[in-house]
């Protein structure tokens, strides 16, 4: 089943500030949602998006799940290299009924990310591989 989430005017938190986070941010930019990146460091492209006021950045290392209660996100996308914190955030989000995606373990995620072909202002085509790398 392919589903397009309505996240207009909702808060999406991205944990991590590297290339994987950047890919997820790019997929969200047209969704008219608030994008909040939490990471102790971010790459230059993510920093540039913050300067353009397209996203917000909080520079801090995530070591627990307190940010969830503080920001009350609708979706959490976890892109760090720390499998233990990723798992802790994912499990806590599920208990709080918050949709979560783990880039390091899609099987524990509530949704998958397709490859997108975007024809501006006309159509988007999503391609799913069922988790298979081609």
Q: Taking 80 as the threshold, does the pLDDT of residue 133 lie above it?
A: no
For the entire predicted model, the pTM comes to 0.85
Is the model more confident about 16 or about 124?
Answer: 16
CATH no. of 11-127: 3.40.50.720
Q: Where are the domains of the chain?
A: 11-127
pLDDT by residue (tens digit) across 28-71? 998 999 999 999 999 999 999 999 999 999 999 999 999 999 99
- Number of CB atoms found within 10 A of residue 76's CB: 27
| Whole-number pLDDT of residue 74 | 97
Q: Could you tell me which of 41, 21, 35 has the C-alpha nearest to residue 101? A: 21
Alpha-carbon distance of 46 to 56, in angstroms, equals 9
| Whole-number pLDDT of residue 1 | 58
Measured in residues, the chain has a length of 134
Classify the C-alpha dihedral 5-27-47-33 as positive or negative.
Answer: negative
Angle of helix 44-51 relative to helix 19-28, nearest 10 degrees, comes to: 40
DSSP secondary structure string for all residues of 61-90? ---SSHHHHHH--SEEEE--S-HHHHHHHH
């Amino acid at each position: 089943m392919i589903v397009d989430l309505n996240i207009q005017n909702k808060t999406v938190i991205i944990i991590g500030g590297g290339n994987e986070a950047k890919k997820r941010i790019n997929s969200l930019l047209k969704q008219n949602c608030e994008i909040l990146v939490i990471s102790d460091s971010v790459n230059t492209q993510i920093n540039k998006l913050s300067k353009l006021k397209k996203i917000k950045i909080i520079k801090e290392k995530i070591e627990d799940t307190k940010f969830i209660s503080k920001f009350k996100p609708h979706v959490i996308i976890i892109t760090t290299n720390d499998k233990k914190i990723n798992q802790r955030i994912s499990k806590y989000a599920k208990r709080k009924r918050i949709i979560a995606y783990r880039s390091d373990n899609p099987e524990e995620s509530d949704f998958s990310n397709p490859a997108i072909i975007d024809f501006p202002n006309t159509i988007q085509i999503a391609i799913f591989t069922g988790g298979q790398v081609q």
